[in-house]
Amino acid sequence: MPADTTLGSVAIEALAGIQPEPGVAKPDPILVADHVVRQFGGLRAVDVTHLEVQRGAITALIGPNGAGKSTFFNVISGFDTSDEGSWTYNGQTITNTAPNKLARKGLVRTFQLTKSLSRLKVIDNMRLGAGGQTGESIFPAVFKFTWGRQEADITQRAMNLLERFNLAAKADDFAGSLSGGQRKLLEMARALMLNPDLIMLDEPMAGVNPALKQSLLDHIRDIREEGTTVMFVEHDMDMVRDVSDWVVVMAQGSIISEGTPTTVMRDQRVIDAYLGAHHEAALTESGESLTNSADKEADA
């Protein structure tokens, strides 16, 4: 890769020229979902026919409230099960695989409501995020020489990440003492302890004060530049426009649009999903749109 080429520019180039249509194929997808359905009684919360997530890109998943975004995230990441469908990650089938097994494969996620262990110190939350720890096994745990060096390495990596996320000064504080924005940073940093190939962020900006938003955006870009694919759910459209390479739009459980941020924001299907069809049409005194009224007069 040339010195002036970033992983972000490679992903953007890979997505260039792709038709902005729901379910469009990507040059190098890390995640592929087919016919994924999740029902709650008579409600079909998720009904995704086909979705591919480009490796190395920052992909935003947006849609109005109740569109099925978080439910789809829960299904793909193993925190919920599907009623139908299948999906693959790095070419391996991971349909309804448990989250701990997915994490070992390199697929991790964060939550809108953070899952930090409030009664543990920040550094201990970070240590828990590391995988393959020898000291977690019963017999090796008795002999420190089998896991002491590994724990020291894990602690050093944890401190490096805390430094990067401006949380090093909080390492010995209880996680419950952190602000909402700091907990978001901690959860993202903890997810990186596994060196994931794909990180899924559920509304990373929710509840974050403006002072921390830019920091989070910078961290998301940095994560991608280090080789991790990022997919996130978000309602903050300024963030979506600013940081995402590709946007997928859901409404009523299905994908209705895909494309670059600029393309998607201009898509009439997206505008209608957020604001309602014919939202810009002027109304007559009876409440009927002038367009429909004119059509009826012409028919008459």
Judge if 101 and 205 occupy the same domain.
yes
- Domain membership of residue 190 (yes or no) is no
97-103: average pLDDT: 93
- Domain membership of residue 150 (yes or no) is yes
- pLDDT at residue 207 in the model: 75
135-151: average pLDDT: 60
Judge if 144 and 162 occupy the same domain.
yes
Complete DSSP assignment for 272-297:
HHHH-TTTTS-B-TTS-BHHHHHHHH
CATH number at 86 reads 3.40.50.300
- Domain membership of residue 281 (yes or no) is no
Q: What is the pLDDT of residues 189-240, one digit of tens each?
A: 999 998 899 999 998 888 777 778 888 888 899 999 988 999 999 888 888 9
Judge if 94 and 230 occupy the same domain.
yes
Distance between CA atoms of residues 188 and 172, nearest Å? 18
Judge if 84 and 122 occupy the same domain.
no
- Domain membership of residue 28 (yes or no) is yes
Judge if 11 and 100 occupy the same domain.
yes
Residue % of the chain over a pLDDT of 70: 83
Confidence band (pLDDT; 50, 70, 90) for 291?
very low
Q: Kindly provide the residue ranges of all beta strands, DSSP E only, lying in 170-245, ordered along the sequence.
A: 198-202, 229-233
Residue 203 carries which side chain, given as an amino acid letter? E
Identify the residue with better confidence: 280 or 46: 46
- Domain membership of residue 183 (yes or no) is no
Q: What is the pLDDT of residues 6-15, one digit of tens each?
A: 767 788 888 8
Judge if 136 and 211 occupy the same domain.
no
Helix, strand, or coil here: 196?
Answer: coil
Q: Which residues contact 35 (CB under 8 A, 6 or more apart)?
A: 48, 49, 50, 84, 85, 86
- pLDDT at residue 295 in the model: 42
- Asked which of 44-58, 108-122, 126-140, 206-220 is least confident by mean pLDDT, the reply is 126-140
Count of helix runs (H) and strand runs (E) in the chain: 12, 10
β-pairing, 58-62 with 246-251? parallel
Distance between CA atoms of residues 291 and 281, nearest Å? 7
- Domain membership of residue 123 (yes or no) is yes
Helix, strand, or coil here: 61?
Answer: strand
Between vectors from CA 15 to CA 13 and to CA 21, what angle results, nearest 5°? 160
Judge if 79 and 166 occupy the same domain.
no
Alpha-carbon torsion (137, 142, 145, 148), positive or negative? positive
Judge if 17 and 108 occupy the same domain.
yes
Judge if 252 and 221 occupy the same domain.
yes
- pLDDT at residue 19 in the model: 87
245-253: average pLDDT: 95
- Domain membership of residue 284 (yes or no) is no
Confidence band (pLDDT; 50, 70, 90) for 118?
confident
Q: Which residue has the tokens 């790095």?
A: 90
Distance between CA atoms of residues 161 and 129, nearest Å? 12
Task: Enter the pTM of the model.
Answer: 0.82
Distance between CA atoms of residues 123 and 80, nearest Å? 29
DSSP state of 177: G
Judge if 12 and 130 occupy the same domain.
no
Identify the residue with better confidence: 3 or 112: 112
- Asked which of 57-61, 151-155, 276-280 is least confident by mean pLDDT, the reply is 276-280
pLDDT at 137 over 80: no
Range of the domain at 226: 7-116+196-266
Q: Which residue has the tokens 């995704």?
A: 48
Phi, psi of 37 (to 5 degrees): -125, 135
- Domain membership of residue 70 (yes or no) is yes
**What's the chain's average pLDDT?**
84
- Asked which of 67-76, 127-136, 199-208, 221-230 is least confident by mean pLDDT, the reply is 127-136
- pLDDT at residue 285 in the model: 47
Tally of domains within the chain:
2
- pLDDT at residue 103 in the model: 92
89 beta partners: 31, 92
Judge if 37 and 91 occupy the same domain.
yes
